[in-house]
Amino acid sequence: MTQRVMRWVVFSMLIGIYGFWNHWMVNASVVKDRNQLTKKDIRIANVVRGVSPVKVSLEAARIANQSVHHRGKIQSLPQANTTQMVDPKVILRRPIWPPRKGVHRLNPRSFKTQTERNVLAIVLFALRKDWDRTMENRLIAWEKKFSGKAFFAHVVVKGDFQWLDCAPFTYRETPMVVAVRASRWQGEIEITENDITIERFIHGQIDMVLGPIVHEVRHTTTLKRMFEQHGATAMVFHNAGATGIKAPSKKDFFSNAFRVIAVTHRDKLLVPAVYVEIFTEELFHQVTHNVKTRGKISFNSTMFFVRYPAEEEWLIIPFQPDFSDPVTLERFLFLNAIPAIWPVDRDNSVYFSYGAPVLALFTSASGIFDVAGLRIMESMKDRFERRLQYVLADLKDTRFVEALPDKDRRRLQSGFALIRNRRGAANISRYVYGGERSEDGLAEWIGLFFDGALDKTSRASSTQIAPPVSGQGVVSETSSLVRELTEHDWSAHVLDGTKDVLVVQYADTCVACKKFNVMLEDVAASLSHVDSLDITRINLQRENVPSPFRATSIPYVLLFPANRKNKPISIRMN
């Protein structure tokens, strides 16, 4: 009994000490007079606001509806003009500045409280099953380079959806890096080899970083203002009913009329994009009113909605993918549709951040086709025909055609189309098309390219069909065109530097894998003429895969390019 009383006494004393300390800390941060605000306070307040740390008056900060921290929450200061007196009773709880050094490991519970106190935070999310040292080492390198300028942390979560409690936007694949500015989510930073994006974000040169940003748009005026502010030049409108998404109730309609995910960046190489879901036919007609369309559109269709930088008018290009899962559709649009309209750089190659082999189309400015880009592995023959209607959108800007080499430009001015197949800087092949200038003719020509049936030495006006080549790899007992790998021949075959190797990891008990294997046989048959590509698969229930390449989910597809076997490309499938 005595021990229980003693424990209660000690516990009460600890509570009293904590209460006194908390009360003293809050009172210490109470600003009783505006003259007591130091230059450091104003500088911190401006960093919280998300601008460069310059000296401004408190009145200007109030006019800009400055946000400050109060007991871990964002509080907006009241509006005031320059003639009003500043309220002296402003509670300003200072955020942590400069941030603590080092990379801090957080759990989902402590993540929110830690990021609320930090002006700038760069956080890496990862599941335990796909956590690797590569991303951790990159985060450590970022912290060393930008030490003292941002709070760096990584959060390891147990389940796929556990981190949704602390990350208020739609589920994305991990590992992913997010940027937080004063507790306001700014979006997902693209995981790249350079530090330019993070550096620009930390120094206040960009307000938003490359990645999905969730906005609540209630009417078209807000949408237009968002485009003008962030410079978005392309967006996708998608009717929620087309993918089976349950429409919101009337109670939630006004706060969820639009779900907008914006991709914004200040780099001229990238075309920003916005993904929007329209829930009502009335809003659909409001947005598409007086808009130029390419083809027939309706409320129940999925649309690819583009505004070109050189034009003031909008252009709608209809597109209907065969995906029913909204998450898969979202990833499909960002990984495939959006890069398809990205411009080419001065190296005459299409800019992609995913490192896949690239097929670029260049045509004469006087022709019906101008500039477009495709990812080879995501644009095989069976998918190309469905994507042709928006991939071959005619871009009016001829600067990229003028940047071509003289030999290629003369061919284009003569009315030819050109394919540049770039698989590494040292291996670029060219194909010239001189057939009928129509979508059907060009589609057939590119289909021959995907089948490996184009002769590089001849023009498409007299294109020669290459003789058929036997299937890739060793034919299995079932006469399959897909090679069955074992753990013993993994190094000798997959890491062979002479071919691109596609590896599918599957299991006998996986129903999705069985369906996928049927499709894989069709793909292998259609690509049997491609000597440079070897399609293989490995059974995870019988064979072991090296840990760096082990599947996180099945079926799992990896492409090992011939020029960089140590960095395979993950191909996400539905």
Q: Is a pLDDT exceeding 60 seen at residue 166?
A: no
Q: Comparing C-alpha atoms, which of 349, 321, 348, 346 is closest to residue 336?
A: 321
Q: 433 with 417: CB under 8 angstroms?
A: yes
Dihedral, 103, 108, 112, 117 alpha carbons, nearest 10: -20
Q: Which long-range contacts (CB under 8 A, 24 or more apart) does 6-10 make?
A: none
Non-local (6+) Cβ contacts of 452 within 8 A are 466, 469, 527, 529, 530, 531
> Stretch 187-208: mean pLDDT, rounded?
52
Rounded mean pLDDT of the chain?
52
Q: Is a pLDDT exceeding 70 seen at residue 196?
A: no
Q: Is a pLDDT exceeding 80 seen at residue 366?
A: no
Residue carrying the six token digits 């911190």: 44
The DSSP secondary-structure symbol of 435 reads: S
Q: Is a pLDDT exceeding 50 seen at residue 382?
A: no
- Helix residue spans in 254-362 (DSSP H): 281-287, 326-332
pLDDT of residue 331: 36
User: Which two three-digit tokens encode residue 530?
Assistant: 């491609």
Collapse the DSSP code of 8 into the 3-class scheme (helix H, G, I; strand E, B; otherwise coil) and give the result: helix
Q: Comparing C-alpha atoms, which of 437, 438, 395 is closest to residue 416?
A: 437
Q: What is the CA angle 364-366-369, rounded to 5?
A: 60
Collapse the DSSP code of 155 into the 3-class scheme (helix H, G, I; strand E, B; otherwise coil) and give the result: strand
What's the first-to-final CA gap in the chain, in angstroms? Answer: 63
Residue 287's pLDDT band, with cuts at 50, 70 and 90, is: low
Whole-number Å distance between alpha carbons of 239 and 486: 45
Q: Comparing C-alpha atoms, which of 179, 161, 180 is closest to residue 170?
A: 161
Q: What is the pLDDT of residues 15-25, one digit of tens each?
A: 888 776 665 55
pLDDT of residue 244: 36
pLDDT of residue 141: 83
Q: What is the pLDDT of residues 442-493, one digit of tens each?
A: 556 655 655 556 654 433 333 332 332 222 222 233 346 788 888 888 878 8
Q: What is the pLDDT of residues 172-191, one digit of tens each?
A: 445 666 666 654 444 444 44
User: Which two three-digit tokens encode residue 379?
Assistant: 């644009």
Beta bridge partners of 557: 504, 571
Crossing angle of helices 511-526 and 381-391, rounded to 10°: 80
- CATH of span 483-571: 3.40.30.10
Whole-number Å distance between alpha carbons of 333 and 211: 13
Which helix or strand (DSSP H or E) is residue 399 part of?
Answer: helix 399-402
pTM to 2 decimals? Answer: 0.28
> Stretch 207-216: mean pLDDT, rounded?
36
Q: Is a pLDDT exceeding 60 seen at residue 271?
A: no
Within a 10 A sphere around the Cβ of 91, how many other Cβ atoms? Answer: 14
Percent of the chain at pLDDT exceeding 70: 25
Q: Where in the chain is the domain with CATH 3.40.30.10?
A: 103-202, 483-571
Q: Is a pLDDT exceeding 70 seen at residue 278?
A: no
**Third-level CATH fold of 103-202:** Glutaredoxin (3.40.30)
> Stretch 301-328: mean pLDDT, rounded?
42
Q: What is the pLDDT of residues 102-144, one digit of tens each?
A: 888 887 667 666 766 666 777 777 766 555 566 777 788 888 8
